[in-house]
Amino acid sequence: MYGKKMTMLHRNHAKENNTEGAPSSADIPQEIKSLQEKIRDNGFDYAYHSETESFDVFLGGPVFTEKLVHFDPIYQTYLKDMPELPYVINQQIRMPLDKVPAELFKIEEWLLEVTGGEDTAGIPWMFDELAQEHERLLTVFIYGTEEQSNFEEGRLKEEVQTVWENLIQPEYLEKYESAAAIKKIYDELAGEDFKKPENWNRYNNVIDLSYSVQPNELYMQEPLIPLKGGELSLFENYQRSQDSSILKELSSEDIALFYLQAIDSADPETVYSLLADTPERPSRDEFFETVTPKTLEAVNVSDILYQFSYFENDNRNSIFFETMNHQTWMFDLAEENDVKKIVFNKYDFY
């Protein structure tokens, strides 16, 4: 959030003064200086990226360094090199394929170090989240998704096979459970000349690792969609009336659930009514040309189990949902006329 704010202020300043690139210390207006001080006072630091003309904000700086020494060495290591989560959004891994092995190994080392410690009862909530993220990344890395398939024309993609083969070397197999899990799948596929098995379905496969979160209670939960009881009645009332005053009392999570329910109901009109009037939103004609009831029927939202993250940034919010298959749905919401609405993302409909 700090990074987006600084980027916005910098771009506005550059536009007003007809300047380009990173502002010099003498050129920085007081508003940006105040934000920089606030960032550092809260244990963060920042860097400017000239390629994207944007600021990145991260844990660091004098305050962070001062406080860090009071943490257990295990957590010092983690906080100094925190991963960018979630790893998978809308069925896409958020890093190049050849970078995944190093990330898997790094996180596995940290997870094993934590579980091997004496104070396992004090393992923080971030361990559970990271263990789930690691399992999700490993699962998608092995089995792929509809959006990011590991097969092409019925055979394992050459680039996938190459990355796997680099990962399953003896020195890695001796040390990392994730490497052993990939080796098992690799050997099975090699026995079939790397042809895609008929029953290739990652949802039916469970990767059992010693540091996985156990027991996995996700499968015992009720999915959020379809809505039920009073929530469903309120949605149906809105669906019939399209009365935006109904939305004013709803939280960001409720708006996102209305949006998902509209998709589940194969109702493009209601979906469009829940989209914020931002530059991302297509015209009505463009939207209804590509998003039809048939399009929405093909989108599966019935396995979403819970909301796990929520971020606020000025007049926009981001909300993340988790599915039983360890996929992540992310929505941005923008506020207009005291009502939060979904920022259009074409990938919601694939």
Query: Which residues touch 139 (CB under 8 Å, ≥6 apart)?
Result: 202, 205, 207, 326
Half-sphere exposure of 318 (CA within 13 A, CB side): 12
Residue 70's DSSP bridge partners are: none
pLDDT of residue 217: 44
Q: What is 229-349's CATH number?
A: 3.10.450.50
The pLDDT of residue 329 is above 90:
no
pLDDT of residue 325: 65
Q: Which helix (H) or strand (E) holds 296?
A: helix 293-297
> In terms of pTM, does the model score above 0.85?
no
CA distances from 61 to 44, 76, 234 (A): 6, 14, 48
pLDDT of residue 171: 94
pLDDT of residue 292: 94
pLDDT of residue 314: 62
List strand residue ranges (DSSP E) for the chain, in order.
44-49, 54-59, 88-89, 92-93, 151-152, 155-156, 304-313, 316-323, 328-336, 339-342
Residue 54's DSSP bridge partners are: 49
Mean pLDDT computed over 315-338: 81
pLDDT digits (tens, 9 = 90+) for 50-105: 766 777 777 777 877 777 676 666 666 666 677 777 888 877 898 999 999 999 99
The pLDDT of residue 161 is above 60:
yes
Higher pLDDT, 320 or 96: 96
User: Cβ(296)–Cβ(271) under 8 Å?
Assistant: yes
CA distances from 240 to 225, 237, 247, 260 (A): 19, 5, 13, 16
Share of the chain above pLDDT 90, in %: 39
Query: Which residues touch 195 (CB under 8 Å, ≥6 apart)?
Result: 154, 155, 189
pLDDT of residue 215: 42
Residue ranges per structural domain of the chain: 2-67, 71-214, 229-349
Pairing of strands 92-93, 88-89: antiparallel
pLDDT tier at 23, thresholds 50, 70, 90: low
